[in-house]
Amino acid sequence: MTATKSPASLLAQPYWYRRLPAGTDVHRLDSGLFAVTGNAAVQEALTHPGIVAEHPLKASARAFGPNVLDADGPAHRAFRALLAPVLSAARIAEYKQTLMPGLIDALVDGVAGTETDAFHRTFAHKVPYGIVCTILGIDASLEDRFHELTRPLARLLDYPTEETDQTHTNVTELLRLIEEQRAARTAGDHSLLETIERTRDRKGITLTDSEVRATALLFFLAGTETSSAFITSLVYCMGRAIFALDELRDETARDGFIEEVLRLYPPVQTIVRFAHDDLTVQGVGIPRHSAVLVSVAGANRDPRVFDHPDRFLAGRSPKGSIPFAVGAHACPGAMLAKAEFSLLIERLVERCSEVVITRDRMAMESQSFAHPAEFSVEFTAK
């Protein structure tokens, strides 16, 4: 275990885990922080009962109040129980039949026959925002407004956090819009808010209305920004692939492609946790109250688990890959996201003969909502 450069300068680099000394997967950084990088160590840290998400000084907790991302134990389980009906297999199958096709077709119609250097900024958000706005019961005319307000909030979940008066103003405005739409009953009894409020009342879960709203907003933030980032990664990998797009007509091949993109480009690359007590990870002591930076990206490119870990290998076994994290805080929307991604690829293959990266500066953006950046992509229509 060796002290190294400041966390802020280290994490400014997309693949920061590669800059740490070899020989250990648990590193003490300046300011008393710890970084966990290898696959086994990351899985141990994310499932360790003494490493928790809750901390009163977290920017997300200050901005949103008690919520699903920042709670642990019984409170976290209560928050997850609220989301379960909305993310059930039956509800996802319903979304795939009734909600996703129109949104995905509109996106594909927008890109087919074009070349763009702004895929993430202009196109990638349209499907996830449309899905989550509908689930939340938000009128479609407000989707662009929600995107404008939500995007800056991503930095509340990054490390180092960027917290400003504007981010708090945006949270307040988003909560106001959500409550306004709920009162108008835009989506009736099937909206996320109506469903989770019924679940709360039926199960006797002791969460306030404000805590329910905060969880709904964080569901919106996580569900849209992670999906927007990953859709960008999917398109990037399609554009750099050495196989024909038609190979992705097969559902099994499509699933394998998605799993390999998730391994290489997990949309959340770094997770911040805290040591509740003095504890050890991989035999290294971590003092109580220490912040622990867990590298999902490092776990997914661990050469002890994956041969040639930086290569895209279609058909690689996903065993050991943890793009949605593990443990109590593993992403509850993973199945919804995969359904969305599979249908998007299916439609792109139907409409496009080629997807080609025409310019690539090999850049990455962000830690919490990471994706390839500074590239151009051309969609050749059939």
- Inter-residue contact 70 to 298 (CB < 8 Å): no
Q: Which amino acid is at 6?
A: S
> What pLDDT score was predicted for residue 188?
57
Examine the pLDDT at 5 and tell me if it is beyond 70: no
Cβ neighbours of residue 354 closer than 8 Å, sequence gap 6 or more: 245, 378, 379, 380
Q: Which two tokens stand for residue 261?
A: 């993109």
Q: Is the pLDDT confidence value at 214 over 90?
A: no
Contact 276, 363 (CB under 8 A): no
326: left (phi over 0), alpha (psi -120 to 50) or beta: beta
pLDDT confidence of residue 310: 96
pTM of the model: 0.92
> CA 276: distance to chain centroid?
25
Q: In this structure, are strands 34-36 and 291-295 parallel, antiparallel, or unpaired? A: parallel
The H-or-E segment that residue 322 falls in is none
Around 42, how many Cα atoms within 13 Å sit in the side-chain half-sphere?
Answer: 27
Is residue 372 within 8 A of residue 262, CB to CB? The reply is no
Give φ, ψ of 221 to 5 degrees: -60, -50
Percent of the residues in the chain that have a pLDDT greater than 70, as a whole number: 96
Tell me what pLDDT residue 1 has.
47
CB 174 within 8 A of CB 150: yes
Residue 211 banded pLDDT, cuts 50, 70, 90: confident
**Band (262; pLDDT cuts 50, 70, 90):** very high
What pLDDT, in 10s, does the model give residues 141-200? Answer: 888 898 899 888 887 877 667 788 888 899 899 888 888 877 776 555 667 777 777 888
CA-CA distance, 24 to 142, in Å (whole number)? 49
Which residues are bridge partners to 51 per DSSP? 275
Q: What digits encode the pLDDT tens for the residues 269-327?
A: 999 999 999 999 999 999 999 999 999 999 999 999 999 999 999 889 999 999 999 99
